[in-house]
Amino acid sequence: MAALNETTRERMTIDVSTLPSVAFGHSNTTWLANVLYMTIEGTMFALIFATYFYLRTRSSSWPPGHYPPALTFGIINAAIFIVSVIPARWVQRRAPSGDRGAIRNGLLILSLFALAATAVRVFEFTTLNCRWSDDAYSSTIWVLIGLHSGHLVTELIETVVLLFVALTPKMEGTRLADAAINSDYWYFVVVTGLLTDFMIYGTTRLL
């Protein structure tokens, strides 16, 4: 009987020593939390978009009583967003390998892109050709660009923090997964940024 119990215990034992200590992608619970967060934030953008188009149906001219926002800084930021996908993808692809040098360089470049986009966004606020308190259209435009600016600054801070971590030996384990997940969030900032640009600069000229 003792021998039988010993055999049963051996069969119930599983060797997990060969499994990775860190999971990337959908196998990581933090990745799922990030996706759910982006879903919530994406819903907020969708509500503002719906409000914007509703207001358009209430007006015979668009934008109502204002010149369209100037294009220059919006186009510059759209270009920054598109090109910034390259270092974000670079970090995401290198994170599983644990190549701290490559991750550090990618985060540095991504931080510079985020900083540049934030700086350009400051100038964008000055070329909307309306004040937030002018009317419903103006308020919606300011809320939309303000909402995206909040996400942009948040991502800038997160990327800079990860960059400082990457300068130390602590960029390992779950921090590597964090670097990869940060790229997913940057993609969200890029997509919502391009949609915001289209709403502010495109629809005021096309609708």
Q: Shortest CA distance to 89 belongs to which of 116, 111, 112, 107?
A: 107
pLDDT reported for residue 10:
56
Mean pLDDT of 7-11: 56
How would you class 42 by CB atoms within 10 Å of its CB: exposed for 0-12, middle for 13-18, buried for 19 or more?
A: middle
- The answer to whether the beta carbons of residues 124 and 74 sit under 8 Å apart is yes
User: Cis ω on the peptide bond leading into residue 96 (within 30° of 0)?
Assistant: no
Q: Which position has the higher pLDDT, 29 or 186? A: 186
State phi, psi for 62 to the nearest 5 degrees. -145, 130
Q: Is the pLDDT of residue 7 over 80?
A: no
pTM: 0.88
Helix axes 100-124, 174-197, angle to 10 degrees: 30
**Mean pLDDT across the stretch 147-161?**
97
Q: Is the pLDDT of residue 199 over 70?
A: yes
Residue 9 pLDDT > 60: no
Residue 112 in this model has a pLDDT that exceeds 70: yes
Mean pLDDT computed over 13-25: 66
DSSP state of 59: -
Average pLDDT of every residue of the chain: 91
Domains of the chain, earliest start first: 2-206 (1.20.120.80)
Give per-residue pLDDT as tens, 157-193.
999 999 999 999 999 889 999 999 999 999 999 999 9
Q: How far apart are CA 133 and CA 6, in angstroms?
A: 77
Q: Is the pLDDT of residue 146 over 90?
A: yes
